[in-house]
Structure 1
Amino acid sequence: MSSAPRHVSRRTFLAVGAASISMPSIVPNFANAAPGERINVGVIGLGSRGFNLIDDLLAASDAQIVAVCDVDKLHYRDQPWGEGRKFGLKAAQEYIEQKSGSRSGVSGYSDYHEVCSREDIDAVIVATPDHWHAICTLEALQNGKDVYCEKPVTHTFREGQTVYQEVANQKAIFQTGSQQRSDWRFRRAVELVRNGHLGRIQSIEVGLPPGYEAPQGDPKVTLPPEHLDYDFWCGPAPKLPYTRARHHRWWRGHRAFGGGVLMDWIGHHNDIAHWALDLDHSGPTRVEAVGWTFPQTNIYNTPHHYEIRCEYANGTKSSIGNGHPIGTRFVGDEGWAFVTRGKITASRMEWTDPNYDPGQEKVYESDNHMRNFLNGVRSRTACICPAETGHRSITPGHLAYVSQKLNRPLNWNPEEEVVIEDSDANKLLQAQDYREPWG
């Protein structure tokens, strides 16, 4: 039997009992699901974030992790060997078996193709470094799987378009790991804006952390450790000399592997700005990179200090950068609100009371990001942060890198996703150069 028909059959089977539910937020949790009714999940990428998502899955009794994948057998992230928590393939297998009490074990792979091609797997978690997000996601989608992919949803703009178009083609369920959407505080800030409490939104300040100013680990170039397949880890990216300062945790400081702290965090706090402005399928009309400074080291090439200025069709202006408090601040002509992790404040404190009703206009409600994804897999209803939403939220970051390189602002057509009358900018934005054989 081919994998596609079998997976469609499993989708139909899993949807039984959920098909009549129209609202994603009230799909039942299937807490007592029998083993055959559980959602079989494969996890690709077993670093710190991958383990966080494993914990989320282990807390869901209607899901079971049947496969894990990583090219590093065992590591301690940025800590000295043997200190702190263990990560990697062997550590994940041991951890899942210990926590789940499973005696049958969980299959371990070093090649993501083997996870994506398994006919019994319903959903794939992609928690790799950014330069692998699109390739693993597309492989999973084309094998008929639903996907939960960490943010930023893709490393490049072109990858983002390809992913959200393929999700639509496959009629797949997709969740971007912008988990702040599943927190009531961020939802409250969005509903305050949507219901007009702040009046007309004049400006938005999106505060992100600064980038890496100096090497964050040992910068010495060495041979890769034996437990790591470094060539496979680099994959489609250039095979840069191995150094701990540019590997686990710190890889995002180089454009080969990530977009710096800027792209690491823009998918969180700018995502909330776009959600409030109802721009999940749109974006700004003008973007400009301002005042970027870069570290004095060849280990990294992403900005340490940075600002992105955006203008929107409704007249709202935003500033995204490390010069603001971390979080999202909305300023209207009748009030203001600021939200960050664990905290919401506003010009009227009653707005921040958990029991306060902000008004008739409600946005999608989720209080558990992984639960929302699993419910979507069962009910075939869209998640709170689908692929295009994740792509649109980080598009100002992609545009800002082009603006900085060309040293000019960009006029953006968000409907057609092109820079207006600027072929050089569009060429840079659509650039995609994979190392062979990953092209």
Structure 2
Amino acid sequence: MGPQRTHRRTFLKQTAATAAGTLGLPYLVRSPALGNSQTSPASERITVGAIGMGAQGQYDMKVVMRDPGVQVVAICDVSEGGSGYPTWYGTDKGGRRYAKQAVEEYYAQKAPSGSYKGCDVYTDFRDLLARQDIDAVIIGTPDHWHAIMAIEAARNGKDIYCEKPLSLTIGEARAMVNAVRRYDRVFQTGSQQRSESGFRFACELVRNGYIGEIKSVIANIGGPSGPCDLPGQPTPDFLDWDLWLGPAPWRPYNEKLHPARWRSFWDYSGGGMTDWGAHHFDIAQWGLGMDHTGPVEVIPPDGKDIKVLTFRYANGVTLTRDQANGVLFTGTEGKIEVNRGYLKTWPESLQQVQLGPDKVHLYESDNHHADWLNAIRTRTKPICDVEIGARSVTICHLGNIAYWLGRPLKWDPVSEVFPGDEEANRMLDRAQRAPWHLA
């Protein structure tokens, strides 16, 4: 086990001893800390802090919270939330207030007393990450915050579940990989399609040659993000706007940015390209066996010979952004199209294939969050390790850079540079607004 886990267990024992000695009374441990048929003893439990309490962040938190071996002890968001808080779902169930309520109501249902008050609340993520009694964190913030938070979490000894897309830039993605490796952390990228059986089976058919030699892959994803020209509005009193912006350039608040529509603008996200690309390009990479490399060329549509965004791999396979139901693999002997809850094969008989023990079997996970927790317990890499997330989001960023520059680009997936292309290489990373920077 890593040093952080050992320290946390020592911390719990020391806390108990100190409390008993200071009070001069028998130390009484609350029932949830003792463990029961539905929970694990506190010394064996994974303590979790969650950062970013919008719709997706709260979803991740609630899924993890249902694991009896987990205790969510802290949440963090730049918004208090509550009445008037806008969300994707048109409700006020976002921000710190509701997230704390959701955690404490859940644990109260399991407590003999019927009450529970054990979820701490933070506005600044650094305060949460500084806690030595937290083992792991969920990062569900907008994309422009992922790298700084993940690197700081790794430096503080936390294991990490980070929502997709992994990063705002290619440079950030590589910095995240380096930090996770340096501090020996378990990292799960939230590209959860890898934990769905239909995608795994489709990729296994491709990897085992059932449609012959792969010629092309189509991924149906969105387009690039663009500049933000929204007018300024008064900042609501429930929101720390400067902290929401963080490393992004300063600009006035607009209700279309927080909490849900920021993805359209390049200061915060790569648009639909990184949003759905982090899912469908990820599956394309998995099926092609390219998790630790990438394409060698990217060509944006030119209105003439090149109709759609096209990536070329060193083996001649092309990956295009085009119309398909999810991801479409085409080989010399057939095709496979896969999406959530959907699988179609040519020939149709491929859907009945039973893979024998001598065939390629890919990493099997049927629950993305549970796979992360199991990897924490076993100190192994989960199904969508940080390197995989970095490689998949890099393809997304390559597509955006090609669109923004409006010309073909050569790419070296080993050194992760555009060979001899100074203009393109300047777009590998971005300056961050002071005082924020990658550690």
Q: Letter of the aligned partner of 2:398 in structure 1?
A: L
Determine if contact 1:43/1:125 at 8 Å carries over to the other structure: yes
Read off the aligned partner of 1:169 and give its amino acid letter: R
Matches within 5 A, 1:123-134: 123-134=136-147
Deviation at 1:212, TM superposition (A): 8.3
State the SS of the aligned residue for 2:363.
Answer: coil
User: Which secondary structure does the structure 2 equivalent of 1:165 belong to?
Assistant: helix
- Which residue does 2:430 correspond to in 1? 432
Q: Which of these residues, 96, 118, 124, is aligned with residue 89 of structure 1?
A: 96
Separation in structure 2 between the aligned mates of residue 71 and residue 247 of structure 1, nearest angstrom: 11
What does residue 361 of structure 2 align with? 362
In structure 2, distance between residues paired with 1:154 and 1:146: 17
Q: Kindly report structure 1 stretches of 4+ aligned residues shifted beyond 6 Å.
A: 211-215
Q: What amino acid is the match of 2:248? A: A
Matched, 1:419 2:429: no
Partner in structure 2 of residue 142 of structure 1: 155
Aligned counterparts of 2:171 and 2:370: Cα–Cα separation in 1: 29
| 8 Å Cα contact 1:148-1:373 kept in structure 2 | yes
What is residue 127 of structure 2 aligned with on the other side? 114
**Alignment partner of 2:145: what SS?**
helix
The residue matched to 1:413 in structure 2 has which SS?
A: coil
- Paired letter, 1:171: D
Counterpart-to-counterpart distance in 1, 2:397 and 2:193 = 21
Aligned CA distance change for structure 1 residues 214 and 411 (closer, same or farther; 3 Å): closer
1:173-213 deviation per Cα after TM superposition (whole angstroms, max 9, x unaligned): 00000000000000011100110001011110000146789
Instruction: Return the structure number with greater relative CO, CA threshold 8 A, min gap 6.
Output: 1
Quote how far apart the aligned CAs of 1:65 are.
0.4
AA paired with 2:323?
H
Deviates most, 358-367 or 153-162? 358-367
SS at match of 1:269: helix
Q: 1:145-180: per-residue Cα shift (whole Å, max 9, x none)?
A: 111100111111111010001111111100000000
Name 1:47's counterpart in structure 2. 54
Provide, for residues 316-344 of structure 1, a one-character-per-residue CA deviation record: whole Å limited to 9, x for no partner: 11102xx4134110000101001111111
Secondary structure of the structure 2 residue equivalent to 1:382: coil
User: How many angstroms does 1:352 deviate by?
Assistant: 2.8
Q: Alpha-carbon deviation of 1:377?
A: 0.6
Partner of 1:165: 178
Partner of 2:399: 400
Q: Which amino acid aligns with 1:277?
A: L
Distance 2:226 2:434 in 1: 32
After TM superposition, the structure 1 = structure 2 runs for residues 384-395 of structure 1, keeping only pairs within 5 Å, are 384-395=383-394
Compare CA radii of gyration and give the structure with the larger one.
2
Match of 1:298 in 2: none
SS at match of 1:244: coil
TM-score relative to the length of structure 2: 0.85
Deviation (angstroms), 1:432? 2.0
Unaligned 5+ segments in structure 2 are 12-36, 109-114
Query: Unaligned 5+ residue runs, structure 1?
Result: 14-29, 293-305
* SS of residue matched to 1:66: strand
* CA deviation after TM superposition for structure 1 residue 368, in Å: 0.4
**Change beyond 3 A, Cα 1:378–1:162:** same
Which residue of 79, 82, 86 maps to 1:77?
Answer: 86
SS in 1 for 2:300: strand
**Counterpart in 2 of 1:190?**
203
Distance 1:400 1:244, change over 3 A: same
Q: For residues 88 and 163 of structure 2, what CA distance do their matches in structure 1 show?
A: 23
- Asked if 1:268 corresponds to 2:289, the answer is no
> SS at the partner of 1:113?
helix
CA distance in 2, matches of 1:405, 1:210: 11
Question: Contact 1:45/1:128 (CA < 8 Å) preserved in 2?
Answer: yes
Say whether 1:38 aligns with 2:45. Answer: yes
| Other structure's SS at 2:56 match | helix
Deviation at 1:345, TM superposition (A): 0.9
2:312 maps to: 311
- Contact kept? 1:58, 1:100, Cα under 8 Å: no
> Where does 1:211-360 land on structure 2 (aligned, <5 Å)?
221-290=232-301, 307-320=308-321, 323-353=322-352, 356-357=354-355, 360=359
Do 1:308 and 1:396's aligned partners in 2 also have CA atoms closer than 8 Å? no
Residue 12 of structure 1 deviates from its aligned partner by 11
Give the structure 2 partner of residue 199 of structure 1: 212
The CA distance in 2 between the partners of 1:79 and 1:47, in whole Å, is: 9
Report if the CA contact (8 A) 1:47-1:77 is conserved. Answer: no
Out of 58, 68, 76, which is 1:61 matched to?
A: 68
Contact 2:55 2:87 in 1 (8 A): no
